[in-house]
Chain A
Amino acid sequence: MKFVDEFRDAELGRVLASQIVAAVEPGRHYKVMEVCGGHTHTIYKYGVDDLLPENVELVHGPGCPVCVIPMGRVDDGIAVARQPNVILACFGDMMRVPGGEGTLLEAKAEGADVRMVYSPLDALRIAKENPDRELVFFAVGFETTAPSTALTLMRAKAEGVRNFSVFCNHVTIVPPLRALLQSPDLRLDGFIGPGHVSTVVGARPFEFIPADYAKPIVISGFEPLDLLQSVYMVLQQLAAGRCEVENQYKRVVPYDGNPRALAVLAEVFELRPHFEWRGLGFISHSGLKLSEAYRDFDAELRFDIPGVRVADPKACQCGEVLKGVIKPWECKVFGTACTPERPIGTCMVSSEGACAAYYNYGRFARERAVV
């Protein structure tokens, strides 16, 4: 299959792996963060980390949109779903994210009308099919997903669909990266940049990483060879004493992003003063809300939202996993009290979550290595 098979070639993978081995300095430990949950998924699914030398460590970042939703926002969604005459639509992953009041799936089992959709457009269709009900779309995601919500809102406005609103939890990727770089907990040598977010925003917003923090970043595609090549490119920069933004995913990512998408985002959204991230706390200008022009579609203005902040369960260490401070298997409840079937933390819910990816693909390999 074009764009897939050529990036999963095992022989080319072995060549890249040997080039990576040749590029590392013996005795030096390299920590490279892959920002995006999609990358984490590929790394574990294809065993990319098994091809790396022991002194090259991949650290998982905060780029899983479901994982960073704080419990209080889940409870807010449940509260909306329980209101009379409401249909709450959300992506499938979101239904299983635990809040303090349970999950949206449990709310559905208790009688709330919660429906899984593949896109905001599906949610708009449900709204049009149910003109006597209020349809609320629980919007999550980074700049990759936000354009879909924005375009759907533009359609709803143009078509005069009044029973459609959005509970907006969209976030942006640059502020948490800056927060991580300022964190004393974490020493990183470089970054694998998020490919699909960059399709929308481009590579330019990441220039602060080399400019302000003297770290290299390589925007990467999502196939195993993309990731191996991106690791190699980061290591080459480090070996040469360079730090810059490089784009490995040129077949998809223009350096300046998608101007139409950026225009749509600017019309429909504006930055919140601050937004809470699971594990990272409140980060300034990191969340989106609907702009004044779309305030009539803002579920937070249309419904009573509790807005109560809920602390994570003490046993859960998703925060440390999301910051790359610990690996999934180092969490106290990983694979025992917390599994994909009965998740305690968000990282065990989504396929892009580091814990779920590692649980599904990596744990047996690690058990073999330990034996």
Chain B
Amino acid sequence: MRVLEAGQNGLCVCVEDDGGARTEVMTDLVGAVGRGDKVLVHAGVAIARLA
């Protein structure tokens, strides 16, 4: 998924690369993210950052 909005408290808003619904995602496991970053999301948590 792509980060749309980096929030506070370990949360961000992500969207699928091909569009689709926005999802709130926990980023505690990958550290700080910025808009446009790509992350692998599983059950609402980013488990890996994609290069």
Contacts and interface: CB of A to CB of B under 8 A. Distances in A.
A261 B26 contact: no
Interface string A195-227: 010011000000000000000000000000000
B29 A251 contact: no
B47 A199 contact: yes
A84 B14 CA distance: 36
Given A1-B18, A147-B29, A260-B29, A252 B45 contact: no
A145 B43 contact: yes
Interface residues of B, number: 19
Contacts of B47: 144, 147, 196, 199-200, 258, 261
B28 A260 contact: yes
Interface in B18-45: 18, 23-24, 26, 28-30, 38, 40, 42-45
Nearest to B17: A1
Interface residues of A, number: 28
A151 B50 contact: no
Contact of B48 (A148, A151, A199): A199
A122 interface: yes
Contacts of B38: 2-3
Contacts of A199: 40, 47-48
Contact of B26 (A118, A144, A148): A148
A264 interface: yes
Contacts of B51: 251
A126 B46 CA distance: 21
A339 interface: no
Contacts of B44: 118-122, 148, 152
A190 interface: no
A14 to B, nearest CB: 26
A63 interface: no
B50 A258 contact: no
B43 A264 contact: no
Contacts of B40: 196, 199, 252
A144 B44 CA distance: 11
Nearest to A124: B44
A3 B48 contact: no
A6 to B, nearest CB: 13
A251 B10 CA distance: 24
Contacts of A2: 17, 38
A144 B42 CA distance: 7
Contacts of A37: none
Interface string A54-82: 00000000000000000000000000000
Given A1-B18, A196-B47, A252-B48, A118 B42 contact: no
18 contacts: A1-B17, A2-B38, A4-B17, A118-B43, A119-B23, A120-B43, A121-B24, A144-B47, A145-B43, A147-B45, A151-B26, A151-B45, A196-B42, A196-B47, A199-B48, A258-B30, A260-B28, A260-B29
